[in-house]
C-alpha cells in the first residue's frame, strides 16, 4: 500500500470517528441541554461522514481520487433528496455539509498528492 493511501485511510477513519462522536455525544448534549449552537450539531455528522467515507475509499490506489470524492458527495445529496421525497423534510444543512466535506476532501487529496510527488522527487 502506498504511503498516500495509508494517510487517506488514517484521516478517513478519524473523520468517521469524529462524525460518530459528534452524532452520539455532541448532538445529544446540545439537544438535552437545549443549547443553540446555530445548527452545528446537525451539520457536523454529515460533514465528517462524507469526508471520512470519501477518504476511506481512497485506501485502494486509484487514478480517479477526485471523482470518487464527488461520487460520495453526490450519493449523500441524493440520499438527502430521497429523505425529502419520502418524509417531506429537506435538511439544507446536511446538503451544505456534504458540499463542504467534498471541498475539504478534494483539498486534502490535492495536498497529500502534491506532498508525495515532492517527496518522491527529492529521493
DSSP 3-state of 1: coil
CA dihedral sign, ordered 49, 99, 65, 84: positive
pLDDT per residue as tens digits for the range 4-28: 899 999 999 999 999 999 999 999 9
Q: Note the pLDDT tens digit of each residue in 58-108.
A: 999 888 999 999 999 999 999 999 988 888 888 889 999 999 999 999 999
Least confident of 52-61, 89-98, 113-122: 113-122
**Which DSSP string do the residues of 32-70 spell out, in sequence order?**
HTT---TTHHHHHHHHHHHHHHHHHTTSS--S-HHHHHH
Residue 92, domain extent: 3-122
- Report how far residue 14's alpha carbon sits from residue 19's, in angstroms, rounded to the nearest whole number: 9
User: What is the count of structural domains for the chain?
Assistant: 1
Amino acid at each position: 500500500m502506498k504511503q498516500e493511501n495509508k494517510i487517506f485511510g488514517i484521516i478517513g477513519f478519524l473523520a468517521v470517528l469524529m462524525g460518530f462522536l459528534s452524532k452520539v455525544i455532541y448532538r445529544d448534549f446540545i439537544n438535552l441541554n437545549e443549547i443553540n449552537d446555530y445548527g452545528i450539531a446537525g451539520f457536523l455528522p454529515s460533514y465528517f461522514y462524507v469526508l471520512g467515507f470519501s477518504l476511506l475509499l481512497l485506501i485502494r490506489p486509484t487514478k480517479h481520487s477526485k471523482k470518487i470524492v464527488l461520487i460520495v458527495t453526490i450519493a449523500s445529496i441524493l440520499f438527502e433528496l430521497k429523505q425529502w421525497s419520502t418524509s417531506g423534510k429537506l435538511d439544507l444543512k446536511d446538503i451544505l455539509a456534504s458540499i463542504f466535506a467534498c471541498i475539504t476532501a478534494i483539498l486534502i487529496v490535492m495536498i497529500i498528492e502534491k506532498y508525495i510527488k515532492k517527496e518522491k522527487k527529492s529521493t
